[in-house]
Structure 1
Amino acid sequence: MHLLLRTLLLLFSSSKRPGLSVWEESSLPLRVLPTDIDIAMHVNNGMYFSLMDLGRFDLMVRSGTWAKMRRRGWSPVAAGETIAFRRSLQLWQRYTIESKIIGLDAKAVYFEQRMVVDGEIYARAYIATRLVSGGKPVSQEEILAEFGEPPAGLELPDWLHDWRETNALPGARRPAPHAWA
């Protein structure tokens, strides 16, 4: 909810920015706002993922994919995320969110996203997203029919497959009891 107004503004402003292919990189210029920081006066670690949502929306809107998804009743949900930090983003600092789809598998679309200042990576994340419709996953075939075929050679790194496999929770229809080992 805390980024709802910012997201709505982005959906409008991204539609006015130059178009691109969903398989290209998106670069979204932003500035650190007071609502992005914590008591240590830098971007809160949890806020990075929320801000990265804006980068993915920018890519989807500028490529026309967001309109196609909405027409089909598809909603994106994060299925897994991992992030590494190098430097802190400070209040009022300018930065860009660089976003790119780096591959797909039978269950998810994978993004790499970076927070960049003056050509230097401050944080990098990998996000596995699912598209759902009516509470059910959208198939890879349906996704490719809307997104178009990925560029030749687009292949997920092995470590990303391993990460998803070892990090994933059971599906929602299977039990996932809470018990500390």
Structure 2
Amino acid sequence: MYPFHRLVMIAGKHILSRRKKVEDVTQKYTFHFRPGLGDIDLYPEVNNGRHFVFCDLARYDFALKIGLVKYIKKEKYLFVVGGSTIRYRKRLRPFRKSKIVTKFVGYNEKFFYFHHAIQQNGAVSSSAIVRTGIRDKNGTINPEVVMKGLGFDVKPFMEPWVAEWINWDDETHQWPSPDK
């Protein structure tokens, strides 16, 4: 089950805070959390799928900080995830202070790309790259339009390792025909 209570807490924190809008979307952002009982499996450690949920929450926190949520609501757009890859490195234990360092690592004519490093006790527990987009009823919105709409003057860019990941993902992950 999706932890809507955490999403509500994140939104409430932003509503109550009087922070100035973020000026540089390319800087790293940190999201703090503690995994709870609802996040663990039988071992006890955070369930593998929950790592992605925590990355979602970190991106929502980022989106609130840069004014993207307000913009999306105004324009009647939707967030979508277009692909992701994660690498698990160490166990993520429940009830311990944890953080996700999120970095906006590029965008092209269709997608935004984010890197997330989930950390606990100073060690990286998992690392993920996530391809995200913004859509309306007519299709995908060009990220450059979104950046301008938010008031950011950031031209399309891509960290080299992200471009390699895109090529790898596009070349090696063709969906098989359902008839086979």
TM-score normalised according to structure 2 size: 0.86
Give me the whole-angstrom Cα distance separating, in 1, the residues matched to 2:73 and 2:32: 25
Give the 3 Å change call, closer, same or farther, for CA 114–128 of structure 1 in structure 2: same
Separation in structure 1 between the aligned mates of residue 103 and residue 87 of structure 2, nearest angstrom: 17
- Correspondences of 1:11-160 after superposition (within 5 Å): 11-15=11-15, 16=17, 18=19, 19-21=21-23, 22-134=25-137, 136-147=139-150, 148-150=152-154, 154-157=157-160, 158-160=163-165
Q: SS of the residue aligned with 1:38?
A: coil
Choose 141-150 or 121-130, whichever is displaced more. Answer: 141-150
Aligned-residue RMSD, C-alpha:
2.2
User: Quick check: 2:144–2:155 contact (8 Å CA) kept in 1?
Assistant: no
Structure 1 length-normalised TM: 0.85
What's the secondary structure of 1:115's corresponding residue?
Answer: strand
Distance in 1 (alpha carbons) for counterparts of 2:98 and 2:18? 17
Q: Cα–Cα, structure 1 residues 40 and 2, in superposed 2: closer, same or farther, change >3 Å?
A: same
Are residues 179 and 39 of structure 1, via their aligned partners in 2, closer, same or farther at CA, if it must alter by over 3 Å? farther
User: 1:80·1:168 contact (CA, 8 Å) conserved in 2?
Assistant: no
Give the C-alpha shift of residue 151 in structure 1. Answer: 7.0
Residue 104 of structure 1: CA displacement? 0.5
Instruction: For 2:22, give the aligned amino acid.
Output: L
Which 4+ runs in 1 deviate beyond 4 A? 167-170
Alignment check: 8 A CA contact 1:60 1:66 kept:
yes
Residue 5 of structure 1 aligns with an amino acid whose one-letter code is H
- In structure 1, C-alpha distance between the alignment counterparts of 2:90 and 2:70, rounded to whole Å: 35
Change (3 A) 1:150 1:167: farther
Code of the residue aligned with 2:86 in structure 1: it is: I
CA distance in 1, matches of 2:18, 2:55: 18
In the alignment, is the contact (CA less than 8 A) between 1:80 and 1:127 conserved in 2?
yes
Identify unmatched segments of 5+ residues in structure 2: none
Structure 1 pair 97–61 and aligned structure 2 pair: CA distance change class (3 A): same
What is the CA-CA distance between 1:135 and the residue it aligns to?
A: 5.2
Q: 1:169 to 1:138 in 2, by over 3 A?
A: farther
3-state SS in 2 of match to 1:2:
coil
Q: Secondary structure at the match of 2:158?
A: coil
